[in-house]
Amino acid sequence: MDYWDYLGWKDPWDSKLATERQYAYARSLPSSVYTPQAVVNGQVVASYAGDLGALQGTADSVAAQPGRGRVVLTAASVESASSVRVHAEVADAPPGSTLLLVEVEGDLSATPNAGENAGRSLVHSNVVRAAKMFPASSADLALPIPPAKPGSTRRVIALLQDTATLHIFAAAQAGLTPTGGNDLSGRITGSGGRPVAGALIQACSGKLCVPARTDAEGFFTLADLPAGSYEIDISPPRGSLARAGVKYFDHADKIVVAKSVWK
């Protein structure tokens, strides 16, 4: 959720989407909104969500109940740096249901510099990076996604869900596989190690140039680069930087970074 940003540290994995969904559950259950809060298939875990015993007990109870409808995901693939393509097979969808498609990332970390967790290294699993509602029917679907963080694992999850109560009838998941080409990811930081957001990155080889921009944390991904030698050109969002650091991640062996240039 993003409603704790005022404390002085912005969680890189928070989102307005998560906040809106928590308040939607609060309206439909009904329930108050608090942190940490857990909802398991439309049921609020009665006690503090840090109580893993209560959380597991609710999950076991829900899992023992028969489901309704059926959803299967196939052919999940990364279509581009900003889109995922999947095929969903939906059968016997209850009336009033919809299909919620989400992309989640695991192996993400953050180190808060304020608040009760200041200085601690936090590791996160199944962080929702993107979500979109679709009709509850079989179809080929495209989901817009943000650039993946270096070293993360990614999956697509589909939830067949009651539109009004948010009760989940059925679920499916699929791992993500690239469609081909090579990706070059990295991070741009300025003086003091602060991330540089909004910088334009271009990888050029001959007449081919592939662009990308850094996100709020300075990360970028140059997606689907054909094998070859590239000149990486980096333009700051405004003015010039006296010093800047460029760190590259997970580039394929056939991609050679020729040089990095600040305009």
Task: Determine the pLDDT at residue 20.
Answer: 92
Range of the domain at 210: 182-262
Residues 126 and 166 in one domain: yes
Provide φ and ψ at 61, rounded to 5°: -65, -45
Residues 195 and 100 in one domain: no
Do 214 and 126 fall into the same domain?
Answer: no
Partner residues linked to 170 by β-bridges:
160
DSSP 83-128: EEEEEEEEESPPTTEEEEEEEEEESEEE--SSSTTTT--EEESSEE
DSSP state of 163: T
- Residue 92 pLDDT: 95
Residue 236 lies in a domain: yes
What is the per-residue pLDDT for 81?
65
In a domain, 93, yes or no: yes
The answer to whether 201 and 78 have CB atoms below 8 angstroms apart is: no
Report d(CA 170, CA 41) in Å as an integer. 10
Cα angle for residues 59, 60, 62 (degrees, 5° grid): 65
Q: Mark whether 105 and 159 lie in a shared domain.
A: yes
Yes or no: say if 229 and 256 are a contact pair by the CB < 8 Å rule. yes
Count, residues in the chain: 263
pLDDT of res. 260: 42
The β-bridge partners of 185 are 221, 249
Question: 164, 171, 38: which is closest to 99 by C-alpha?
Answer: 171
Same domain, 163 and 214: no
Choose the final residue of a domain: 137, 163, 178: 178
Q: Which residues contact 66 (CB under 8 A, 6 or more apart)?
A: none
Same domain as 72, residue 168? yes
How does pLDDT run along the chain (263 residues), one tens digit per residue?
888 888 778 888 888 888 999 999 889 888 888 888 888 887 787 767 778 888 888 888 888 888 889 999 886 777 666 788 889 999 999 999 999 999 998 888 888 888 888 888 888 888 999 999 999 999 999 998 887 777 778 889 999 999 998 999 999 998 876 555 566 777 777 766 677 788 888 888 777 888 888 887 777 777 767 766 777 777 777 654 434 444 444 443 333 333 344 33
Same-domain status, 70 and 167: yes
Residues 214, 199 within the same domain: yes
Residue 108 forms part of a structural domain:
yes
Q: Is 238 among the domain residues?
A: yes
Residues near 241 by Cβ (< 8 Å), separated by ≥ 6?
Answer: 190, 191, 196, 262
Same domain, 85 and 165: yes
140 lies in a domain?
yes
- Decide which of 178, 208, 242 is a domain's last residue: 178
**Domains contained in the chain, number:** 2
Which pLDDT value is given to residue 30? 81
| The pLDDT value given to residue 244 | 43
Side-chain-side CA neighbours of 57 within 13 Å: the count stands at: 10
| Residue 149 DSSP code | P
Q: Which of 114, 144, 178 is where one domain is finished?
A: 178
Task: Specify if 136 maps to a domain.
Answer: yes
> Could you tell me the CATH number of the domain that includes residue 193?
2.60.40
Q: Report the C-alpha gap between 155 and 42 in whole angstroms.
A: 22
Q: What is the pLDDT of residue 248?
A: 47
pLDDT value for 203: 80
What's the CATH code of the domain at 126?
A: 2.60.40.10
- Count CA atoms within 13 Å of residue 153 on its CB side: 8
pLDDT value at position 191?
65
- The reply to whether 166 and 206 lie within a common domain is no
| Judgement on whether residues 92 and 160 belong to the same structural domain of the protein | yes
Cβ atoms of residues 229 and 258 within 8 Å: yes
Please report whether residue 249 resides in a domain.
Answer: yes
Residue 118 lies in a domain: yes
Residues 6+ apart with CB under 8 A from 1: 14, 15, 18, 19, 22, 35
Q: Are residues 240 and 197 in the same domain?
A: yes
